[in-house]
């Protein structure tokens, strides 16, 4: 049994499909002389990145299986340090005017061929290392993705999944995901939750223990993976699966009811979605609408940016499916770990060109999105939400862009909701500090805890090495959430939360007690959250929140919340 991080719930027994890293395809591509500096830069980035990856694998291998086995990675790192080889690659890019990946492919293949032809077996073995390094560099140049073809009805086992891979695989009836890397709020994990695909991430070395065709059990509730389970284990897992199903059936009974506490406090429960197909969950799960529609799904599926018309069709579909409820559409939030095909690589993507920064720098892309959203607002209730806001200036600029889009539509006689609401996500610490001022400039706020926690605590949300430091219940996180709510309420604005914390049953008493108005979450958990709200009292939640504000550590806070929740709602299946 291997232990990882439970990223999407559900228990699945099935055949593994291990995603081997395929050799990347390389075509001969001529470049202009003016493109040479850019190609050399791409090469350098890819080499640096490959080295960082290999150092990490080396360290992990040393820790887990000892330094003898880790030597293979040392050898690969040494290849990257071969100045003779890389000088000649740089020279060939400059002189032959060919793309970096092509020259890397050609030059390293030559080197590899010499080794393959050697009579020395050791040399021939090393040729495989050279091949690995070559593919790694090329993949990093191309920012290539893992392959997307596999046998239907399998459990995908891989080192890592990018959000794009998660989407691609999901088209092939994937049963579950189990990956070496990744954290609970990595976008691939979020996607698997939206797609209702059980998954466990951060297993560190599952790809080493499992081979394609092996029977494995992925338990997305507890974060464990069992390889070659016995009959007895399979029976036990099936029993647990049935228990969960039973509980889910009971939840369906409260679908049509309001999310109201026993003492009368009503809150809004909304769904987070990424694809138009998911919009039907709004009714199926008994929600008050869509609190976060991540529009980048559409951008990640297409090679280039989708046209205004393509976006309009998609947004209108969502609005019509959610009607009569609202849809909070978030403007494009690419960057970070959500890379679209034509984005360039950055050293610190999470601190780089992301979210609103991209939109404001690309006015045409932004205009087409705003116009598409405005046009969709003629078909139902649409709110617009801005991601990655770090200060007032970005909001003012974005509002100017919105005005511009409105004017262009008015000139063309196209109808839209003249009173469309615009809000800001609070997910950057600077925005949290000035939440009151931001609330004054907007119609609503929505707390994005996935990013807020990573930026506040300086913990990469997708890095399994530091996942234990990624703490929802860190007192600084709680105090920040409290202050955002107080500040927004002071100027009469509502506050939603659309980060994963909003759907965490353990966090519910606290968030309710702090006065949060709306909770937007992955649809599958919504009925359970409603059940809890209907079983507790707001007054008690307030008292609990006040007690928590006095507590000093995440462990104390979590234990306190867990015990209280258990006492109030004993039938919950808390894993």
Catalytic residues: 187, 498
Q: Computed over its alpha carbons, how large is the radius of gyration of the chain? A: 25
Stretch that binds Mg ion, among 180-188, 261-269, 299-307, 419-427 (CB under 5 A): 419-427
Q: Of 190, 282, 79, 124, whose CA–CA distance to 499 is shortest? A: 190
Q: Which of 61, 285, 369, 449 binds ligand PEP (CB under 6 A)?
A: 449
Work out whether 503 is an interface residue with ligand PEP (CB under 6 A): no
**Among residues 177 and 538, whose Cβ is nearest to ligand PEP?**
177
Stretch that binds ligand PEP, among 248-256, 449-457, 462-470, 507-515 (CB under 6 A): 449-457
Shortest separation between residue 501's beta carbon and ligand PEP, angstroms:
8
CB of 138 closer than 8 Å to CB of 157: no
Work out whether 423 is an interface residue with Mg ion (CB under 5 A): no
CB of 366 closer than 8 Å to CB of 384: no
Shortest separation between residue 269's beta carbon and Mg ion, angstroms:
20
What track of x and - describes contact with ligand PEP for positions 333 through 352 (by CB under 6 A)? Answer: x-------------------
CB of 481 closer than 8 Å to CB of 514: yes
Spatial separation of the C-alpha atoms in residues 10 and 175, rounded to whole Å: 10
Spatial separation of the C-alpha atoms in residues 133 and 364, rounded to whole Å: 39
Work out whether 460 is an interface residue with Mg ion (CB under 5 A): no
Residue 158's DSSP bridge partners are 179
24 interface partner picked from Mg ion, ligand PEP, none, CB below 5 to 8 A per type: none
CB of 458 closer than 8 Å to CB of 482: no
Q: Which of 6, 202, 448, 523 binds Mg ion (CB under 5 A)?
A: 448
198 interface partner picked from ligand PEP, Mg ion, none, CB below 5 to 8 A per type: none
**Among residues 136 and 294, whose Cβ is nearest to ligand PEP?**
294
Shortest separation between residue 521's beta carbon and ligand PEP, angstroms:
10
Q: Which of 159, 427, 504, 518 binds ligand PEP (CB under 6 A)?
A: 427
Please state, in angstroms and as integers, the Cα–Cα distance from residue 139 to each residue in 49, 102, 133, 143, 144, following that order: 10, 12, 10, 5, 5
Work out whether 528 is an interface residue with ligand PEP (CB under 6 A): no
Stretch that binds Mg ion, among 126-134, 218-226, 450-458, 542-550 (CB under 5 A): 450-458
Shortest separation between residue 354's beta carbon and ligand PEP, angstroms:
9
Q: Count interface residues toward Mg ion (CB under 5 A).
A: 3
498 interface partner picked from Mg ion, ligand PEP, none, CB below 5 to 8 A per type: ligand PEP
Q: Which of residues 161-190 bind ligand PEP (CB under 6 A)?
A: 190
289 interface partner picked from Mg ion, ligand PEP, none, CB below 5 to 8 A per type: none
Work out whether 278 is an interface residue with ligand PEP (CB under 6 A): no
Shortest separation between residue 277's beta carbon and Mg ion, angstroms:
22
- Maximum pairwise Cα distance, the chain: 82
Q: Which of 76, 261, 450, 522 binds ligand PEP (CB under 6 A)?
A: 450
Q: Which of 180, 451, 460, 518 binds ligand PEP (CB under 6 A)?
A: 451
Q: What sign has the CA pseudo-torsion 270, 273, 276, 277? A: negative
CA angle 47/138/163 to nearest 5° reads: 100
Shortest separation between residue 405's beta carbon and ligand PEP, angstroms:
23
Q: Which of residues 241-270 bind Mg ion (CB under 5 A)?
A: none
Q: Which of residues 291-330 bind ligand PEP (CB under 6 A)?
A: 292, 294
Shortest separation between residue 83's beta carbon and Mg ion, angstroms:
41
Q: Which of residues 13-52 bind ligand PEP (CB under 6 A)?
A: none
List, as one string, the DSSP characters of 198-242.
-EEE--SSHHHH--TT-EEEEETTTTEEEES--HHHHHHHHHHHH
Report which secondary-structure segment, H or E, holds 56: helix 36-65
List strands edge to edge, sheet with 199-201.
Answer: 2-3, 224-227, 215-219, 11-18, 155-158, 176-179, 199-201, 5-8
Spatial separation of the C-alpha atoms in residues 8 and 266, rounded to whole Å: 28
Strands (E), 351-482: 382-386, 421-426, 444-447
Spatial separation of the C-alpha atoms in residues 400 and 393, rounded to whole Å: 11
Q: Which of 132, 165, 308, 427 binds Mg ion (CB under 5 A)?
A: 427
Is residue 81 classed as helix, strand or coil in its secondary structure? Answer: coil
Shortest separation between residue 428's beta carbon and ligand PEP, angstroms:
10
Shortest separation between residue 314's beta carbon and ligand PEP, angstroms:
17
Q: Which of residues 371-410 bind ligand PEP (CB under 6 A)?
A: none
Distance, CA of 250 to chain centre = 30
What track of x and - describes contact with ligand PEP for positions 481 through 500 (by CB under 6 A)? Answer: -----------------xx-
Upstream peptide bond of 20 is cis (omega within 30 degrees of 0): no
Binding residues (CB under 6 A) for ligand PEP: these are 190, 292, 294, 333, 427, 448-451, 498-499
């Amino acid at each position: 049994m291997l232990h990882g991080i439970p990223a999407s719930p559900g228990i699945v027994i099935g055949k593994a499909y291990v995603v081997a890293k395929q050799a990347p395809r390389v075509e001969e591509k001529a470049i202009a002389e003016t493109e040479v500096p850019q190609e050399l830069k791409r090469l350098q980035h890819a080499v640096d990145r490959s080295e960082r990856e290999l150092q990490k694998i080396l360290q992990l291998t040393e820790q887990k299986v000892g330094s003898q086995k880790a030597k293979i990675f040392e050898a690969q790192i040494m290849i990257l340090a071969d100045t003779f080889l890389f000088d000649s690659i740089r020279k060939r890019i400059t002189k032959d005017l060919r793309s970096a990946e092509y020259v890397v492919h050609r030059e390293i293949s030559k080197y590899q061929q010499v080794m393959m032809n050697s009579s020395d077996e050791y040399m021939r073995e090393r040729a495989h290392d050279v091949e690995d390094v070559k593919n790694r560099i090329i993949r990093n140049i191309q920012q290539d993705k893992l392959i997307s073809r596999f046998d239907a009805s399998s459990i995908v086992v891989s080192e890592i999944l990018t959000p794009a891979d998660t989407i691609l695989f999901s088209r092939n009836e994937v049963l579950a995901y189990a990956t070496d890397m990744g954290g609970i709020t990595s976008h691939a994990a979020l996607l698997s939750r939206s797609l209702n695909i059980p998954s466990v991430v951060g297993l560190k070395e599952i790809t080493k223990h499992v081979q394609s065709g092996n029977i494995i059990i992925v338990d997305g509730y507890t974060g464990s993976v069992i390889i070659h389970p016995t009959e007895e284990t399979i029976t036990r897992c099936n029993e647990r699966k049935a228990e969960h199903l039973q509980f889910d059936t009971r939840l369906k009974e409260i679908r049509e009811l309001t999310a109201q506490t026993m003492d009368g406090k009503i809150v809004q429960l909304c769904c987070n979605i990424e694809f138009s197909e998911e919009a039907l969950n709004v009714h199926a799960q008994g929600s008050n609408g869509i609190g976060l529609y991540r529009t980048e799904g559409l951008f990640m599926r297409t090679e280039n940016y989708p046209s205004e018309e393509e976006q309009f069709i998609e947004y209108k579909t969502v609005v019509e499916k959610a009607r009569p409820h609202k849809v909070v559409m978030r403007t494009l939030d690419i960057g970070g770990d959500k890379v679209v095909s034509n984005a360039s690589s950055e050293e610190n993507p999470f601190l780089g060109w992301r979210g609103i920064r991209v939109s404001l720098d690309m006015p045409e892309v932004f205009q087409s999105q705003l116009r598409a959203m405005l046009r969709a607002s003629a078909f139902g209730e649409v709110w617009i939400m801005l991601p990655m806001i770090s200060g007032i200036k970005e909001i003012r600029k974005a509002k100017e862009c919105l005005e511009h889009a409105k004017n262009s539509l008015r000139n063309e006689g196209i109808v839209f909701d003249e009173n469309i609401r615009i809000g800001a996500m609070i997910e950057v610490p600077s925005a949290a500090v000035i939440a009151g001022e931001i609330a004054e400039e907007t119609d609503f706020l929505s707390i994005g805890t996935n990013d807020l926690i990573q930026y506040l605590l300086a913990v990469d949300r997708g890095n399994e090495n530091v996942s234990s430091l990624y703490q929802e219940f860190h007192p600084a996180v709680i105090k920040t959430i409290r202050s955002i709510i107080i500040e927004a309420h002071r100027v009469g604005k509502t506050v939603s939360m659309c980060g994963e914390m909003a759907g965490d049953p353990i966090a519910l008493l606290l968030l309710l007690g702090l006065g949060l108005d709306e909770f937007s979450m992955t649809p599958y958990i919504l009925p359970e959250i409603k059940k809890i709200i209907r079983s507790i009292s707001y007054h008690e939640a307030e008292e609990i929140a006040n007690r928590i504000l006095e507590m000093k550590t995440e462990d104390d806070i979590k234990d306190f919340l867990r015990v209280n929740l258990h006492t109030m709602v004993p039938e919950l299946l808390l894993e």
